[in-house]
Amino acid sequence: MALYFFDSSSIVKRYMNERGTAWVIGTTDPAAGNRIYVAHITGVEVVSAITRQRRSGSLSAADAATAILQFRHDFANEYRIVGITSALIGRAMSLAETHALRGYDAVQLAAALEIGTQRFALGIPTSLTFISADAALNAAATSEGLTVDNPNLHP
């Protein structure tokens, strides 16, 4: 079983056809046996991204409704949600300052790092891969010691 943390820019590819969609679908398929983590804020970000695509005309209303319904199901039943705590926000603030990240990107990175912290405290080995389609966020994650993959590199 592999452990993955998907940020919003990568997990949304499971619900909208973009570069990297096939790879994301394969990696997140429950039959693959992977453990998928997302930050709690990812719920809002993905629904927002799908809705914006509908409003721009890039996605039909029916396809958007189906995508949001499927995402809500997966969010509630398949993903391990990393809660946004005061401590996590403090860590995100430091990451934003260190790496000049956008606000929610810093929260995403802090959430991924929190998984490692929690697993380490429990004496459980951590081999988490951070998945994002954002180059600056991936660079920050790499400098924080995470293994990184970009779904856009898997057409």
- Give per-residue pLDDT as tens, 14-36: 999 999 999 999 999 999 999 99
3-state secondary structure of 83: coil
Domain containing residue 59: CATH number: 3.40.50.1010
Residue type, position 75, single letter: F
Residue type, 29: D
In degrees, rounded to 5, the angle at the alpha carbon of residue 131 between the alpha carbons of residues 126 and 136 is 115
**Residue pLDDT, tens place only, 39-94:** 999 999 999 999 999 999 999 999 999 999 999 999 999 999 999 999 999 999 99
C-alpha to C-alpha distance for 19 and 17, rounded to whole angstroms: 7
Output the six-digit token pair for 127.
């081999």
Q: What angle do CA 51, 57, 58 make, to 5 degrees?
A: 80
Predicted pLDDT at 125: 73
Is residue 120 pLDDT above 80, yes or no? no
Q: How many independent structural domains does the chain possess?
A: 1
**Residue with the larger pLDDT of the pair 38 and 125:** 38
DSSP H or E run through 3:
strand 3-6
Report the alpha-carbon angle 89-11-96, nearest 5. 25
Residue 2's pLDDT is what?
93
88 vs 90: CA distance, rounded Å: 5
pLDDT (mean) for 3-13 = 97
User: pLDDT value at position 126?
Assistant: 72
Alpha-carbon radius of gyration of the chain: 15
Quote the domain boundaries for residue 119.
3-153
Band the pLDDT of 6: cuts 50, 70, 90.
very high
Mention every residue, 6+ apart, whose C-beta is less than 8 A from residue 146. Answer: 112, 113, 116, 128, 129, 130
Task: Report the largest interatomic distance among the alpha carbons of the chain, rounded to a whole angstrom.
Answer: 49
The confidence score (pLDDT) of residue 117 equals: 82
On the CB side of 92, CA atoms within 13 Å amount to 20
